[in-house]
Structure 1
Amino acid sequence: MENLGYYNGIFGLIEEMVIPMNDRVHFFGDGVYDATFSANHVVYLIEEHIDRFFNSAEQIKITIPHTKAEVKAILEEMAAMVEAEESFVYWQVTRGTAPRNHAFPDTKANFWITVTPFELRNIKERMALTAMEDTRHLHCNIKTLNLLPSVMASQKASEEECQETVFYRGDIVTECAHSNVSILKDGMLKTHPNDRYILPGIAKSHLIMACKALKIPVDETAFTMSEMEAADEIIVTSSSNFCSAVKTLKGRPVGGKAPKLIEVIQDYLVAEFRVYCGLE
């Protein structure tokens, strides 16, 4: 199949799927999601993404109508059914279907999946960033469906011909609209700690593991906008991006001072991915 959708056990082409009007996602964005990609029909880092998915659901008191093993089996089955060698695999759970009411309904949660063709970007191509104040709520660690701030930030990046928007609170850098951001300075990786101000990125955790394996020191403390602007390199990570260096921030050149170190990290992460997906 070219693409594939799933809603509470029903499979079909995405454009043919039908969702009830009273699914609470329509009124409240009442749910959580996770996403990764598949290559060679293997869903990349599936266990870690499912763990985060269940953690997000638990924090907003949604009971997922499947076990972790069942979710994994469904995702793997769907990735195998889509023809593309590389696909974007997205799944979400909503609180259920019920007449509009702010309080939780006594109903079973709804489970959605989409699998669509996806082409990985060349991570050796440097990115352009812009920045804006982080005015989101104080539970950024939950992968909620309420993504309007990220939508606005992504639109800002598009209008400024950038690939991402960096969020900051005061002068402290948090993350990007749909990525994590870290810096390299004097041979050390510095990255925001996993607290309520950022999503605990799985790609970020693998960046940290890669640096430790490569004997690159890691400092998990918050850094400022001025520190980022003066960094040897700025690194953007996401599950579909691995690790990309940055060429400009708000239209001004940044980074470019440790290209060999960036390349070593990138090569390590790409090799990890290729082994995981059975491409080696």
Structure 2
Amino acid sequence: MEDLAYYNGKITRLSDMMVPFNDRSHFFGDGVYDASIAKNGIIFKLDDHLERFFNSMALIDIQPDFAKDDLRALLGNLCQKLDADELFVYFQVSRGTAIRNHSYPQPLKPNLAIYMTPWQGDFSGQNRLRLMTLPDQRFELCHIKTLNLLPNVLASQKATLQGLDEVVFHRNQRVTECAHSNISILTNGVFQTAPLDHWILPGIARKYLLLASQALGFGVSEQAFTIAEMLAADEIIVSSSGALCAPVSEIDGCPVGGKDDERLQQLQTKIYQDFFKETAVE
């Protein structure tokens, strides 16, 4: 298959999948999701993604009728049905199917949806991103990976219309994260990223960039930083499941970064090697 969609046991091509009208994700965005990349049928850092996925469900009172091991096995089996060597893997759960009402009946069987499409990673480390800043107007549950992404969508569209790659959110000058990524800085040999609180998502790539920095002997800091500190940093790094360690060249039209290429390359090499090692076929 070229691509794949799964919904509560049914498997089709993406363009053929139909979802019940009364799925609560339709009316309320009432659900959570997670995503990763795969190579050779092996999903990168799957245990971490499953842990975050089940934690997100618990935080909004969704009670799954499947275990982590069930979902791990299902995702692995679905990967084998695709022709592509590298895949983008997305999975979500909604609270279930019910007549539209803000409150929900209990118990309610959740709906599990998965899709997989071909993906091609850029591991050259050469592509530097162009960003813009915007006030962070999202609600204060950003640590939960929910389906409620309207502020992210609107901000991303603003960036796209200006030919930019991402948006940096800030609250009273404190940098939080990007519209669909985490953001970190390298300054004087220290890798610094925002603390885990209700304003940022606990990114899996963020976690492993911290570990990689420690392994390389860099200093590490989980302290908030301001827009001014970000703009003055030696390097600015955007990270997500699809872009593990992407450097930045421009923010709000001003050149940034490019002052510690050696450490940046060391960090990229470390995390890319981790990806290829974990997804290698023996």
Please report the TM-score for the alignment, with normalisation by the length of structure 1: 0.98
Counterparts of residues 119-158 of structure 1 (less than 5 Å): 119-122=120-123, 123-158=125-160
Instruction: Report the alpha carbon displacement of residue 65 of structure 1 after superposing the two structures with TM.
Output: 2.0
SS of 2:230 mapped into structure 1:
helix
In structure 1, give the amino acid aligned to 2:120. E
Instruction: Report the alpha carbon displacement of residue 73 of structure 1 after superposing the two structures with TM.
Output: 0.5
- 1:25 & 1:65 partners in 2: Cα distance? 18
* Residue 184 (str. 1) matches residue 158 (str. 2): no
In structure 2, give the amino acid aligned to 1:223. F
RMSD of the TM alignment (CA)?
1.0
SS of 1:37 mapped into structure 2:
strand
- 2:174 & 2:37 partners in 1: Cα distance? 30
What percent identity do the matched residue pairs reach?
A: 46
In structure 1, give the amino acid aligned to 2:211. M
In structure 1, give the amino acid aligned to 2:105. P
* Residue 118 (str. 1) matches residue 122 (str. 2): no
Instruction: Report the alpha carbon displacement of residue 121 of structure 1 after superposing the two structures with TM.
Output: 2.8
Counterparts of residues 224-239 of structure 1 (less than 5 Å): 224-239=226-241
> Once the two structures are superposed, what CA deviation does each residue of 1:110-143 show, in whole Å capped at 9, x if it has no partner?
0000011111134321111111000101110000
Instruction: Report the alpha carbon displacement of residue 279 of structure 1 after superposing the two structures with TM.
Output: 5.9
Partner of 2:82: 82
Instruction: Report the alpha carbon displacement of residue 105 of structure 1 after superposing the two structures with TM.
Output: 2.0
- 1:128 & 1:183 partners in 2: Cα distance? 15
Instruction: Report the alpha carbon displacement of residue 18 of structure 1 after superposing the two structures with TM.
Output: 1.2
How many positions carry a matched residue from both structures? 280
Counterparts of residues 142-221 of structure 1 (less than 5 Å): 142-221=144-223
CA contact (8 A) 1:173 1:225 kept: yes
Instruction: Report the alpha carbon displacement of residue 104 of structure 1 after superposing the two structures with TM.
Output: 1.4
Partner of 2:24: 24
In structure 2, give the amino acid aligned to 1:111. L
Partner of 1:100: 100
SS of 1:81 mapped into structure 2:
coil
Partner of 1:63: 63
In structure 2, give the amino acid aligned to 1:43. I
CA contact (8 A) 1:130 1:160 kept: no
> Once the two structures are superposed, what CA deviation does each residue of 1:181-209 show, in whole Å capped at 9, x if it has no partner?
00011111111011110000000000000
After superposing on structure 2, the runs of 4+ consecutive aligned residues of structure 1 that deviate more than 2 Å are 121-124
CA contact (8 A) 1:36 1:90 kept: yes
Structure 1 window deviating more from structure 2 (8-17 vs 170-179): it is: 8-17
SS of 1:74 mapped into structure 2:
helix
In structure 1, give the amino acid aligned to 2:161. E
Instruction: Report the alpha carbon displacement of residue 153 of structure 1 after superposing the two structures with TM.
Output: 1.2
SS of 2:36 mapped into structure 1:
strand
SS of 1:150 mapped into structure 2:
helix
- List runs of 5+ in structure 1 lacking aligned partners: none
